[in-house]
Amino acid sequence: MTSPAPLTLERSFARRIDLTSLQLFVAVCELGSIGRAAEREFIAASAISKRLSDLESTLGISLLYRHARGVDLTPAGESLLHHARAMLYSLEKMQGELSEYAEGVRGHVRVHANISAIVQYLPEDLGAFARLHEGIKIDLEEHLSHEVVRAVQAGAADLGICHVSEDDTAELQTLPYRRDQLALVLPQQHPLASQPSVAFAQTLDEDHVGLHTHSSIYRAMYQAATAEGRSVRLRIHVTGLDAMCRMIDNGLGVGVMPRRAFELMQAGIGRRLAAVDLSDDWARREIRLVARDFSTLPVAARTLVQHLQPPEAVEAPAGAATA
């Protein structure tokens, strides 16, 4: 006798899960009591208890430890709570998007981008796109480059905009977007400030103000320092380029950021800081558009991709799906 195919089992499982029961399960977990959940959800406690018992029977596992003071989660219950919250959040987001279609929105594009793209280029580019396509809504989230790639792979984003490597995008397609130049940001009076350019190795005796250790800039700095048999003297981590400039301005070290980003922020910090281009090859970078398959994107997303591609960079998407 052959066992059911995995896809058949997955469909059967999905049909047996009741969304109302999941909502009540989450309520019980949040309040720690079936009685309190019943009061909040305006439903009899016995009805909630029956639904939870049926859910446990369906899954074949115990989800809750029941005691006189309320309930506690079993390890399986903790896992289900994590997935149930994610599922219910996705349903709420879907409802919100669909309601906007009823109000005249003609398309949604979910975009994840790294900080370099967001600070340097996307405000103007997305602003121009919004003026041309008022019916298309763009949901933009900032993430580290490797998180952007992961979101596209998982389907959490239609389009990614970030710095990528071949290993990062083995199963994805990419197209050119913009280029940027990394520069060393430092006080005007610093000895290196008068140089036309500087090699990153020359900065390794300096204290550094750095971005998150998983950011593409920090990873490139770490690899360059390792190649010199040295390490980066990281004095402080910051989460944004504006915070980096403020730290440098207050004497906490030097930092590496895209030159154009520094120039855009310079008005807010006066002329107390300078930017000197890094001469290393890795400091000249390309920001790319990333998708699972550009040809299968929804019309709204394809329209945005066409808008973001520079005219001189029209090319076939690079990546595994272009064979």
**Residue 168 has what pLDDT?**
67
Cα–Cα distance, 124 to 307 (Å, whole number): 12
Over range 278-283, report the average pLDDT: 95
**Residue 129 has what pLDDT?**
93
Residue 103 has pLDDT above 60, yes or no: no
What is the C-alpha R_g of the chain?
26
Cα–Cα distance, 178 to 303 (Å, whole number): 18
Over range 265-285, report the average pLDDT: 86
Is residue 154 within 8 Å of residue 126, measured between CB atoms?
no
Residue 1 has pLDDT above 50, yes or no: no
Which segments of the chain does DSSP mark as H helices, in order?
Answer: 6-16, 19-31, 34-41, 45-59, 75-102, 115-120, 122-132, 145-154, 216-227, 241-249, 259-269, 299-308
What's the N-to-C CA distance of the chain in angstroms? Answer: 40
**Residue 315 has what pLDDT?**
57
Of 241, 244, 231, 235, the residue nearest 207 (C-alpha): 235
Residue 120 has pLDDT above 70, yes or no: yes
Residue 198 has pLDDT above 80, yes or no: yes
The model's confidence at residue 323, banded by pLDDT at 50, 70 and 90, is very low
**Residue 108 has what pLDDT?**
83
**Residue 105 has what pLDDT?**
53
The model's confidence at residue 270, banded by pLDDT at 50, 70 and 90, is low
Distances (CA, A) of 309 to 108, 172, 262: 19, 17, 24
Amino acid at 89: Y
Over range 211-232, report the average pLDDT: 91
Residue 182 has pLDDT above 80, yes or no: yes
82-98 pLDDT tens trace: 888 888 887 877 776 66
Averaged pLDDT score across all residues of the chain: 85
122-143 pLDDT tens trace: 999 999 999 988 888 899 999 9
Sign of torsion over alpha carbons 103, 104, 107, 110: negative
Residue 9 has pLDDT above 50, yes or no: no
Cα–Cα distance, 85 to 90 (Å, whole number): 9
Over range 198-205, report the average pLDDT: 95
